[in-house]
Amino acid sequence: MNKTLPLQTTLVYLLTLMALILLCLVLALRLWLWLAPLPEASAPPALLSNNSIQSAYGLFGIAPDTAQSISLLPVSTGLAFRLLGIVAAQGEGADYAVVQVAPGNIVAITEGQEIVPGVRLTTVNNDHLVLERAGVRETLSWPQP
């Protein structure tokens, strides 16, 4: 005795089908976000070569001999390292630095050692370190108060 109308049955069927399609779409997008490859890290900052800088000095009227006497300093590092200490050795001993790589991860390294894979300490100075990452030299200075 309780007959449903064909229009009502068709409408319920279409709404159920659309809800199922929407659910599948949302699940597919969530799965893609979960399984998608991570974005690649940005490239390290590049240092200008001496030749390109010397040619730029010529454009602005600085003599080439003056341009050669100006030394290039490595750029400041973009790594999340923190310089905690520098120990200068007396005589023939090696200088070393104490660096906080991550919270709770503190390392003491000498010149030539790798702090983390791909980042090597090249020079220890009294106020900063010179690091080399992917062939580019960068400085790590004392933290600003």
Mean pLDDT of 99-114: 88
Using the predicted structure, report yes or no on whether residue 27 has a pLDDT greater than 90.
Answer: yes
97-106 confidence digits (pLDDT tens): 898 888 888 8
Per-residue pLDDT at 31: 92
Residue ranges covered by each domain of the chain = 1-37, 44-71, 74-141
Using the predicted structure, report yes or no on whether residue 122 has a pLDDT greater than 80.
Answer: yes
Mean pLDDT of 60-70: 53
Per-residue pLDDT at 37: 79
What single letter denotes the amino acid at residue 138? Answer: E
pLDDT-based confidence at residue 19 (cuts at 50, 70, 90): very high
Mean pLDDT of 43-64: 57
Using the predicted structure, report yes or no on whether residue 138 has a pLDDT greater than 90.
Answer: no
Mean pLDDT of 3-28: 91
Q: Which two tokens stand for residue 59?
A: 């454009």
Question: pTM of this prediction?
Answer: 0.48
Return the CATH number of the domain spanning residue range 74-141.
2.30.30.830
